[in-house]
Structure 1
Amino acid sequence: MIEVEKAAVILKLLGDKTRLTMVKMLDTNDYCVCEFVEIFKMSQPAISQHLRKLKDAGLVQETKRGQWVIYSLNRENEYYPLVHSLLEYIPNQDFRLKELEEQGLRISCD
């Protein structure tokens, strides 16, 4: 059971369309900041700000691969069950990655 105040913080965080979409995307794939920049057509600092908020809440985690930072959904987070239940109501967003690949803009961050 999650306290109402903590649930409200998570729900407010996911109330942003960009962050909610990012979390849904991270439910099926890991992403580099540079890929989110291309997908959302936003600046790198703006994308990083969204990811920082998600990371600060513990919803996402990062892994460094050389100079690249790869983000993934933190399924070990205490709020993951709440987030996961919300994500079941959101349409799959894998088409965004497919569009990026079709445009030749999928970036290999390895």
Structure 2
Amino acid sequence: MINTSIEMERAALILKLLGDKTRLTMMKLIENHACCVCEFVEIFKMSQPSISQHLRKLKDLGLVEEERNSQWTFYSVDKSSEYYPFIKTILDQLPNQDEKIRELEENGTRIECC
């Protein structure tokens, strides 16, 4: 059996980051939909620097990955992260956030990465 446990200190840090409603919602959104900063600005009605700060914290911990596509950078959950099994159990308990993506599409503010 593979040992999938993580250090207590790392678990506490991840839980602290995910204790923020905005970051938790971001993680649920990008679990199945890559999003760029401008989409998060629209969804959360927050400034670009605030959104970037949230994403930086998640990226620094290795929870999200970024993919550049011309002028856009798209963020998604890093499912190859050693911490993914830990956060997946949390994300699985959360309500689906697809309606936020549908709203972007309906408003014409969804950016397709492909």
* Other structure's SS at 1:6 match: helix
Which aligned runs of 4 or more in structure 1 are off by greater than 3 angstroms? 107-110
Q: TM-score, normalising length from structure 1?
A: 0.94
After superposition, residues 1-110 of structure 1 pair within 5 angstroms as 1-108=5-112
Flag structure 2 segments of 5+ consecutive residues without an equivalent: none
Percent identity for Structure 1 against Structure 2: 62
User: What's the offset of the Cα at 1:16?
Assistant: 0.3
Once the two structures are superposed, what CA deviation does each residue of 1:6-61 show, in whole Å capped at 9, x if it has no partner? 10000001000000000001111000111111011111000000000000000001
Q: In structure 2, what is the Cα distance between the partners aligned to 1:33 and 1:104?
A: 15
User: What's the offset of the Cα at 1:91?
Assistant: 0.2
* Other structure's SS at 2:111 match: coil
Flag structure 1 segments of 5+ consecutive residues without an equivalent: none
User: What's the offset of the Cα at 1:109?
Assistant: 5.7
Amino acid at match of 2:101: L
* Other structure's SS at 2:73 match: strand
Aligned length: 110
Amino acid at match of 1:30: A
